[in-house]
Structure 1
Amino acid sequence: MIKSVIRFLSSFLVTYPIEERKSEVSGKLEILYTNGKYVLDTARVNYSFGGLHRVFQKAFSQFRIKDRKIKNVLILGFGGGSVASILQGEYGKDIEITGVEKDEMVIELAKKYFSLDKYKKLSLHSTDAYDFVQNSSLTPFDLVVVDIFVDPIIPEKFQDENFLSALSKVLSPEGILFYNFIARDEKTRDKGAHLYKQMNNLIGHTEWIRLFARSTENWVFVCDKIKTPK
């Protein structure tokens, strides 16, 4: 008991490495204990419950997601469950959660350290998000979150017209979409600007906000169907 209290308090000064894995999908995966909680990192970016968690907290707050009527959410790139924890844990929303996470090792670590069984109405799929959204039988979602990275790169297929068009189809008529993008250098900034234009053309009115996780510059593109002219 005393040791756990000491570790909790000292974690605000020191980061403790807990477990490290090598994934064929994501590369290095590491569970760390810092600031009194577990976080999931890759070699270069936070996947869950660190800086990335704060990015979505700020983005959701800016668009008043806590007060918005949402019955279901699709999370592409579920990770350790950061977005789910904000919606159900922090906001207390009684919503259906559909999570898609290709990396089975990420899911394994999430179950071990982040208690996925605490989420109500969670349906978690270990599959490729690109293929998942092509399913025409999907029920439209009031909230769609795209948070897909392979340390820290977004695969090209998740920026192409087919994927964006599929996102538009799985978004409900009054739904809202959050697409997280990491701007690392001039090349990725150019790609991000192009993605922003494509989202406006293919999905609807899109806003562009800049947020930071540690030293990482995140661009969150937000498409709100309510603000899109009919």
Structure 2
Amino acid sequence: MLSKRLLSYFIPIKIHQKKSEINKNLEVTWTNGQLVMDSKNTNYSYGSLQRILRKGLHYIGFERIRNFTNILVLGVAGGSVVKTLTDEIRYKGKITGVELDPQTIELAKKYFEIDQIPNFTIVLDDAFEFVLKTREKYDLIIIDVFQDTVMPNFLFEDFFINRVNYLLNVNGFILFNTMVLNDNQKQRNLDYRSRFDQNYSVRMYPKVEEHNELFTIKKLM
């Protein structure tokens, strides 16, 4: 393993490839000395995605996050944002992760040991279905739901938005990672922002790692 890790500073070394009905193709690769999980066209965990979500968490504030008690992650993949929360931010509260793809969970356990993270529960479910069923409230809801580069339409529909808002505690935050590849998606995000009234403080951070746009949304009352 050490030789592959060292060699990966010069060229990526693929160590596992798996077909998935949901994400088509999943790969685990040594890149620049780090294990990453990728789909066909984008990074799923660690690598650029971890940097993107770390920036979003930084915008919210690490100290503030440490004082939260309950976090929901919609879209777990390899679990890099969970590792950021526990290892870097030193968050000690409860984390629930929801992931639709069982193949992704299998790889995340084997290569990234997400099942060893304390106070972290992973749920195999559709994000839309989960938010309908859960009775818990959350201080932070991270939405990072993709199938390769495609974002499901339900993420931008009123019913889902309103349900997520209901699950969020007052003074809690939504961190929403989106991808903007064309003008239609740019307009989609502007329309999404307009769905929040004066009870929410919404900030947009465009061109994070070039094609991603982050939202942080604070519930004021």
Q: TM-score when scaled to structure 1?
A: 0.90
Instruction: Identify which of 211, 215, 221 aligns with 1:221.
Output: 215
Structure 1: where are the runs of 5+ without partners? none
Q: CA deviation at 1:211?
A: 4.2
Q: Whole-Å Cα distance in 2 between the matches of residues 23 and 117 of structure 1?
A: 20
Superposed displacement of residue 65, structure 1:
2.8
Render the CA deviation track for 1:185-222: whole Å, top value 9, x for unaligned: 11111111111212x23972211012433xx4111111
CA gap of 1:203–1:162, structure 2 versus 1, over 3 A, is farther
In structure 2, relative to structure 1, the CA distance for the partners of 1:202 and 1:139 (3 Å cut) is farther
Q: Does 1:193 align with 2:187?
A: no
Q: How does 1:13-52 map to 2 (within 5 A)?
A: 13-52=10-49
Native 8 Å contact 2:208 2:214 kept in 1:
no
Cα distance, 1:10 vs structure 2: 2.1
Contact 2:202 2:217 in 1 (8 A): yes
Q: How does 1:90-101 map to 2 (within 5 A)?
A: 90-101=88-99
Q: Deviations over 1:151-195 (max 9, x none)?
A: 111111121000000100111112111011000111111111111
* Residues 164 and 203, structure 1, Cα contact 8 Å, conserved in 2: no
With normalisation by structure 2, the TM-score equals: 0.94
Cross-structure match for 2:172: 175
Give the alignment partner of residue 113 of structure 1, picking from 93, 111, 116.
Answer: 111
Q: Name the structure 2 match of 1:72.
A: 70
- The runs of 5 or more residues in structure 2 that have no matched partner are none
Q: Choose which of 54, 64, 84 in structure 2 pairs with 1:57.
A: 54
Judge conservation of contact 1:19–1:32 (CA < 8 Å) in 2.
yes
Distance in 1 of aligned mates of 2:20 and 2:63 = 34
RMSD between aligned residues = 1.6
Looking at structure 2, the residues matched to 6 and 104 of structure 1 have their Cα atoms a distance apart, in angstroms, of: 30
Could you list the structure 1 runs, at least 4 aligned residues long, displaced by more than 3 angstroms after superposition.
none
Identity %: 28
Deviations 1:105-146 (A, max 9, x none): 0000101100013311111111111011012x5221111000
SS of the residue aligned with 2:132? coil
